[in-house]
Structure 1
Amino acid sequence: MSLERRPLGSSGLRIPALGFGAAPLGNLYRAIPDAEARDTLKAALHRGLEYVDTAPHYGLGLSERRVGDVVRGHQATISTKVGRILFPAPNANTGMERYGFRTPMPFDARFDYSHDGILRSHEASLQRLGLAQVDIVYIHDIGRLTHGDAHPHHWQQLTQGGGLRALRRLRDEGAVKAIGAGVNEVAICLDLLDQAPLDAILLAGRYTLLEQGALDTLFPRCEQTGTSIVIGGPYNSGILAGGAQPVRHYDYAPPPPAVLDKAEGIAAVCARHGVPLGAAALQFAMAHPLVASVIPGLASVKEVHETMDRTAQDIPADLWTELKQAGLLAPHAPTPVREVAA
């Protein structure tokens, strides 16, 4: 199937409605051989997933290296992130999991949202990717959820310390085509939109089949500012992925009982309609008109093909009606509409 291309804010970019989240290529939770990582991304590009999102954080540079080695010379839209500076760590224990990644890269990271830190991070990413330019740069993981008591310091770096100014400079000088933020909390997005116009917000896990709180706060604001949404984590870390043995994770941790109950209720409705849970989760996230792209993390060629199958799955309108009537889905949430052949 041919993927629809959607505009990204006012950047002039048009990106596929379904993209490729490259965190797994940084060996997220498990090591992926180089050949498997390469074949996975090649398969995704072949199927039309020509928007690829990576970050220095993903495997401490490993994801960027792997992405660059595949996309170099291909037609693809590439995004990476700023806010962390990698530095050599000769004594790093590369045999153990670090920051959730099983990476052999002998580096560590420190947060830096200052003017010079943003520019340095961008330049270092180009070196790791082996690319002269990326299309989109996101501020990564700013917010209290990540930084706790250190948030005021990092926010000051980003605002008064010139981080946002550096980001606008990259766009104004043509080094990138679009700027935004890649976060997993709604409140910081509203704060950012008070400070600067953004082309896009990559929102991870906060607008899914399981939760739609962003509908009432963030989405109206983005509509006013002309800011597109890119959805990361459409399966909420696996709890919405479905399958014979669904992953019992929510936000990278065991789910609270209320969340688990709701997820099981959604799964039961999907089962009654003969629809895979993962297909419903993916198509729901793609249905909102503000959403430019949905970027599930993909770790194998099999997952690439399963993802494409999920986008093609026929979902009856009655499924969405039942979810709303059961209180499992916000009543005003847009849902997919299937075109009926004449």
Structure 2
Amino acid sequence: MALETRPLGRTGIPVTTLGFGSAPLGDLYHRLDDETARGAVAAAVEAGVTLYDTSPFYGHGLAEHRIGTVLRGVPRKSFVLSTKVGRWMDPLHQPADGNTQPPNFAGGQPHPARLDYSYDGAMRSLEQSLIRLGVDRIEIVLIHDVDVYSHGAAAVEGHFKAAMEGAYKALEQLRSEKVIDAIGVGLNEADMCERFALAGDFDAMLLAGRYSLLEQPALDSFLPLAQEKGIGMMLGGVFNSGILATGPVPGAKYNYRDAPPEILERVAAIQKVCEAHGVTLADAALKFPLGHPAVASLVMGSVSAEETKRNRAAFDRPVPASLWSDLKMAGLLRADAPTPA
């Protein structure tokens, strides 16, 4: 069965409901050898995935290099690229302690990142991405990580102001010149997505972890606003960093940290309902977010061809409507959450 294709909001850019997320290709948590990393991308191409999301931050350019290596052998019109701005690499100035690795990344390129939401910083970041990816254009460009999770409450206001006065104006200009097709943000927090949506004219956004089977804070006001404005939504972190894939096992990750007891308990309850319907927790977690009309694609990370194939196979397995109603009856899913037909 072919993957479903949806338009990315008002842009009309067609993207598959399964997208490829490249954070793991930057050696997130563990080092990957190049052959394995490239195999994960090649398997996505073979599976019919058309949306590929990346960022200079992922391994300080390593993920972009690896994706570009594979996609350079694929007809350019057959896929859509999304990358991010907000950091550029500075290989000529090494830090005094010699540590060039981004947080949570076990490896990556030996190029320290410069956080920069200015106009010139965005232009420099995008230029570097084009070179690493080996392409002459990128369809979707997102302002990356302007949120409390990434910078702390004390710093986020300054970064928001800098991004709107700098990076946003750069991307707006490139869009008007038709150098890029869509602009947006890639964030970890729904309320910051909403602030950007109200402050500027954005086409697409990538939200990580805040609209999942486990939690739906984006449903309060942001997703209705995105739908109203025609902002095409890409969702990352639909497993909440792992726990909705692994289940409530010891050491399960939730938002990049060990899951606390209350999260383990809630996930165990959700899993029990899923099993009663003969559905795995992971399959339910993949299908649920696609019930919202603003959501165009789930951007799924992968570390191997086998994992890519498993993600793809899950999209063909049916989930009964009664599962969603039972989760709502049990208070494990918001009553107002739209669910897949």
Alignment TM-score, normalising by the size of structure 1: 0.93
Change (3 A) 1:29 1:331: same
**1:151 alignment partner AA:** V
- More divergent stretch after superposition (190-199 vs 227-236): 190-199
Alpha-carbon separation, structure 1, partners of 2:338 and 2:3? 19
Per the alignment, residue 315 of structure 1 pairs with 319
Per the alignment, residue 86 of structure 1 pairs with 89
Alpha-carbon separation, structure 1, partners of 2:94 and 2:172? 35
Change (3 A) 1:97 1:173: closer
Identity of aligned residues (%): 44
Alpha-carbon separation, structure 2, partners of 1:243 and 1:71? 33
User: Secondary structure in 2 aligned to 1:241?
Assistant: helix
- More divergent stretch after superposition (146-155 vs 277-286): 146-155
Structure 2 contact 27–108 (Cα < 8 Å) conserved: no
Per the alignment, residue 25 of structure 1 pairs with 25
Change (3 A) 1:164 1:98: closer
Deviation at 1:73, TM superposition (A): 4.0
Per the alignment, residue 166 of structure 1 pairs with 170
- C-alpha offsets along residues 178-198 of structure 1, whole Å, 9 cap, x if unaligned? 111100101111111121111
Deviation at 1:100, TM superposition (A): 1.2
Deviation at 1:95, TM superposition (A): 9.2
Match of 2:307 among 291, 303, 313: 303
Q: How does 1:34-45 map to 2 (within 5 A)?
A: 34-45=34-45
Per the alignment, residue 338 of structure 2 pairs with 334
Structure 2 contact 302–308 (Cα < 8 Å) conserved: yes
Alpha-carbon separation, structure 2, partners of 1:93 and 1:277? 43
Per the alignment, residue 340 of structure 1 pairs with none
Structure 2 contact 100–111 (Cα < 8 Å) conserved: no
Change (3 A) 1:49 1:92: farther
Per the alignment, residue 262 of structure 2 pairs with 258
- More divergent stretch after superposition (214-223 vs 150-159): 150-159
Match of 2:104 among 88, 92, 100: 100
RMSD: 1.9
Alpha-carbon separation, structure 2, partners of 1:144 and 1:100? 17
**2:15 alignment partner AA:** I
- C-alpha offsets along residues 97-139 of structure 1, whole Å, 9 cap, x if unaligned? 6411122411111211111111111111111111111110010
Alignment TM-score, normalising by the size of structure 2: 0.94
Deviation at 1:318, TM superposition (A): 1.8
Alpha-carbon separation, structure 2, partners of 1:179 and 1:150? 23
Match of 2:281 among 273, 277, 283: 277
Uncovered stretches (5+) of structure 1, i.e. residues with no partner:
338-342
Change (3 A) 1:274 1:84: same
1:288 maps onto 2:292 in alignment: yes
Structure 1 contact 29–97 (Cα < 8 Å) conserved: no
- C-alpha offsets along residues 24-43 of structure 1, whole Å, 9 cap, x if unaligned? 11111111111111111111
Q: How does 1:133-172 map to 2 (within 5 A)?
A: 133-148=137-152, 149-160=154-165, 162-172=166-176
Alpha-carbon separation, structure 2, partners of 1:244 and 1:233? 16
Match of 2:223 among 219, 227, 233: 219
Alpha-carbon separation, structure 2, partners of 1:192 and 1:91? 32
Deviation at 1:12, TM superposition (A): 3.1
Alpha-carbon separation, structure 1, partners of 2:304 and 2:96? 27
Structure 1 contact 180–201 (Cα < 8 Å) conserved: yes
Q: How does 1:11-22 map to 2 (within 5 A)?
A: 11-22=11-22
